[in-house]
Amino acid sequence: MSAPLIAPLIEAAGLSVAYRGEDGAPPLQALRAVSIAAEAGEVVGIVGESGCGKSTLAAALIGLLPGNAVVTAGTVRFRGTDFLALPEAGRRGLRGRHIAMAFQDPMTAFSPVLTIGTQLTDFQHHLAGQGRAARRARAGAMLARVGIADAARVLDHYPHELSGGMRQRAAIAAALLMTPEVLIADEPTTALDVTMEAQIIHLLRELRRDYHGAIIVVTHHLGVVGELCDRVHVLYAGEVVETALVDDLYHRPAHPYTRALIACDPAGLTGVTRPLPTIPGRVPELAPPPPGCAFAPRCTLATARCHIEAPPWVAVGPGQGARCHEARPRGCDPGGTDPKGADANGAIR
């Protein structure tokens, strides 16, 4: 369950990414020593609030970091190959065919002046030995596969003629055209209504069942994580602060930030709660990051040491770890901590 016997399909190890500062400003350290992995057949969630580095991590995994980003340490390996060390041509060979991304904003992921059919056909340009008609038929089949009724007609539509839910499906279909082994879905449901969100969750569940690839879901929505993911990495201020199986993460969170996030989610509160719980304070500046634990200023458990000394990675239990001075291996602390009962030790106002 925990220690993989085979190498993971895709893996970031000790990855640090910085954005160059403008006019001599210090670089913004967007990711610091991030290690995550995804194996075939699993759905891995990357969770965190805005500014925590989720999108930078997604871009790094597919080798699409913007020009002002510098990888200062670490590797991204796909089937053991160091993806970031490859020349651009080599990366292009992997991207799309082996690692694909469904982009966050399906409105801007497509060109507004070409039909969906034209674009989905063009995306298959590196598919050798197939004519345009065959590629178009494949595009139609893929649209049907992601649950678009009347796919043949939708091929002739322009992006603006589709609803948000349909566009999101089309974006996922575009990513799946090359039957990639790794699908990265960046905030796949943010722009959608609850009903469409539920349908996209269903679609991704079906894909996991049918494709046996790895799906990486980047989201700030714990509902999406709870319904969809097997394993979760929680990011805060550019660091992985906790990694756990989804059940352990929700029922026995080890990091105070995870506990606070769960406590804040109104969907998890059963009774009517006023005022709603919040996390006091702000995400810290990352140019440069604070010396100790980045969450310490907002943490109710923080001691003097937390502000000075960077916390170690503590293995809490099978497959679960947290970057916290106060985290202890489970067994020393029998029984789980229920998030609802965590008010006493969680960072919750």
Partner 1 sequence: MSALYAVRDLSVSLPGQGFLGRLLPGRLLPGAPARIDILQGITLALAAGETFALVGESGSGKTTLARAMLGLVPVSGGSLHFDGVALGSARAFAGLRRSTAMMFQDPVGSLSPRMTVGALLAEPFVIHRRPLPLPGRAGRAAQAAALLDRVGLPARLAARYPHELSGGQARRVCVARAIALDPRLVIADEPTAGLDVSVQGEILNLMTGLGTALGIGFLVITHNLAMVRHIADRIAVLYLGRLVESGPAAAVLARPAHPYTQSLIASEPQPDPRRRRADLAIRGEIPGILRRPAGCAFHGRCPRAEAICRVTEPDLRDLGAGQQAACHFAPGQ
Q: Quote the least distance from Cβ 205 to partner 1, whole Å.
A: 9
Give least dist CB 268 to partner 1, A.
5
Q: Which stretch binds partner 1 (CB under 8 A): 60-68, 98-106, 162-170, 178-186?
A: 162-170
Q: Which of 71, 220, 313, 336 binds partner 1 (CB under 8 A)?
A: 220
User: Is 262 an interacting residue with respect to partner 1 (CB under 8 A)?
Assistant: yes
Kindly state the tokens that stand for 59: 């871009």
Instruction: Report how far residue 153's alpha carbon sits from residue 338's, in angstroms, rounded to the nearest whole number.
Output: 50
Tracing tokens 């322009």 back to the chain, one arrives at 158
What is the rounded CA–CA span in Å between residue 253 and residue 260?
10
The C-alpha angle 95, 27, 218, rounded to 5 degrees, equals: 40
CB 59 within 8 A of CB 65: yes
Piece of the chain touching partner 1 by CB under 8 A; list 27-35, 87-95, 124-132, 161-169 = 161-169
Shorter beta-carbon distance to partner 1: residue 193 or 333? 193
Q: Which of 349, 343, 338, 309 is nearest to 326 (CA)?
A: 309
201 touches partner 1 (CB under 8 A): yes
Q: Is 97 in the site for partner 1 (CB under 8 A)?
A: no
Which residue stretch of 8-16, 34-42, 91-99, 219-227 sits at the interface with partner 1 (rule: CB under 8 A)?
Answer: 219-227
CA dist., res. 306 & res. 326, Å (int): 9
User: CB 224 → partner 1: shortest distance, Å?
Assistant: 6
Residue 225, interface with partner 1 (CB under 8 A)?
A: yes
**Is 224 one of the binding residues for partner 1 (CB under 8 A)?**
yes
Pairing verdict, β 214-219 and 43-47? parallel
In the block, which residue shows the tokens 């969770």? Answer: 47
Contacting residue, 34, 37, 166, 173, with partner 1 by CB under 8 A? 166
Query: What tokens appear for 163 in the block?
Result: 């609803």
- Reported as half-sphere exposure (CB side, CA atoms, 13 A), residue 332 has a value of 9
The correct pick among 1, 113, 272, 304 for binding partner 1 (CB under 8 A) is 272
222, 261 in Cβ contact below 8 A?
A: yes
Question: Should residue 108 be labelled a site residue for partner 1 when binding is judged by CB under 8 A?
Answer: no
Measured from the CB atom, the residue of 218 and 224 that comes closer to partner 1 is 224
Burial of 79 (0-12, 13-18, 19+ CB in 10 A): middle
* 107 binds partner 1, rule: CB under 8 A: no
Contact 255, 241 (CB under 8 A): yes
Site mask for partner 1 (CB under 8 A), range 33-72, x = bound: ----------------xx----------------------
Q: Looking at 27, 268, 289, 319, which residue binds partner 1 (CB under 8 A)?
A: 268
For 17, 38, 208, 227, 232, the CA distances from 217, given in Å and listed in that order, are 20, 11, 12, 12, 9
For partner 1, the binding residue among 247, 287, 328, 329 (CB under 8 A) is 247
| CA nearest to 31, candidates 190, 233, 232 | 233
Residue placing its CB nearer to partner 1 in the complex, 268 or 290: 268
Size of interface with partner 1, in residues (CB under 8 A): 46
105 is a site residue for partner 1 (CB under 8 A):
no
- Using rule CB under 8 A, residue 303 touches partner 1: no
Report the alpha-carbon angle 332-335-336, nearest 5.
110
| 177 in Cβ contact with 136 (< 8 Å) | no
Please choose, out of 97-105, 129-137, 172-180, 214-222, the segment that lies near partner 1 by the rule CB under 8 A.
Answer: 214-222
Q: Rule CB under 8 A: which residues touch partner 1?
A: 49-50, 163-166, 190, 193-199, 201-202, 220-227, 229, 246-247, 250-251, 260-262, 264-269, 272-279
